[in-house]
Amino acid sequence: MMVFGCFLFSLGAVIFVEPYGFAPGGTYGLSMVFHHLWGWRTELTALCMDIPLLIIGMLVLGAKFGIKTFICTLLLPAFMFLIHTFYGYDSLLEPGITDITMFDQQMLASLFGGVIYGAGLGIVYRSGATTGGSDIIAMIVRKYIHMSMGTAVIIVDGLITLSTVIAFHNWSLPMYSWVIIFVSAKVMDRIMEGSPSKTLMIITCEIDQVKDFILNNLSRGAPLIPATGMYEGKERDIIYVVLTRRELIPLRKKIAEIDPRAFVNVIDSNEILGEGFKSLKAF
């Protein structure tokens, strides 16, 4: 997973992000700016920044990153070097940065670049590694300024993204870079958390029929939680059940058929661990 994630990240960087002059944060974003300004190879420049950052991070924060992050620090430039060698530096969608008036190509590049970027990062993080780079800077900033990790990452990556304005004197480039950051964050969250399951809390007068449908038609278990109504003081059981998105639809239709006055609270659950869902052994 870690190796494949690094490959996806590198592929998205080479064919969608780098040719257009985008800089979606991180040491690789800054290295892409240097590549267009002075012709420096992106992967080598990023590696020269990542290794000192990794050492500084271990000295300031302790050995939190482990061998996997060190391996990713080497894999990313290695994959970019191979892709540059066998594919080149041209964008998959032409024209590249030389024609900044072509909105369609740049927007498609930023959207698909964000998808591949996010998929690569999500797989890397899910494997238990990080890509280092600006993440380490954000951790150091957070330690001494006492801000949230998310805020620190936004500040660091935001400053790197704005460097494209100084380099190319064009405000459209950081805007496209922010599109990449937003899309990649959404894709990364979906890969790390999976498709949201649904948690239902059901109050109904026809509790036996609902129980029978959950047990026999959906093959799900569900605890009954005793409760007392505040208005009338009547005692009732609440059905607490966790379902996939696909299983929610037939249950909702069945409840509507047998008890249109039922009360159903549907909640998104990003991570469900245990029998019938994601195994606890993975953690």
pTM of the complete model:
0.70
Last residue of a domain, one of 193, 214, 247: 193
- The number of domains in the chain is 2
| Tens digits of residue pLDDT in 196-230 | 688 999 999 999 999 999 998 888 888 999 999 88
What whole-number distance in Å separates Cα of residue 23 and Cα of residue 28? 8
Last residue of a domain, one of 170, 193, 216: 193
Whether residue 9 is found in the same domain as residue 144: yes
Is the predicted pLDDT of residue 277 greater than 80, yes or no?
no
> Which residue range is the domain that position 115 belongs to?
2-193
| Tens digits of residue pLDDT in 218-263 | 888 889 999 998 888 888 899 999 987 778 888 999 999 999 999 9
| Tens digits of residue pLDDT in 144-156 | 776 655 566 667 7
For residues 199 and 267, the answer to whether their CB atoms sit within 8 Å is yes
Whether residue 188 is found in the same domain as residue 216: no
For residues 9 and 115, the answer to whether their CB atoms sit within 8 Å is no
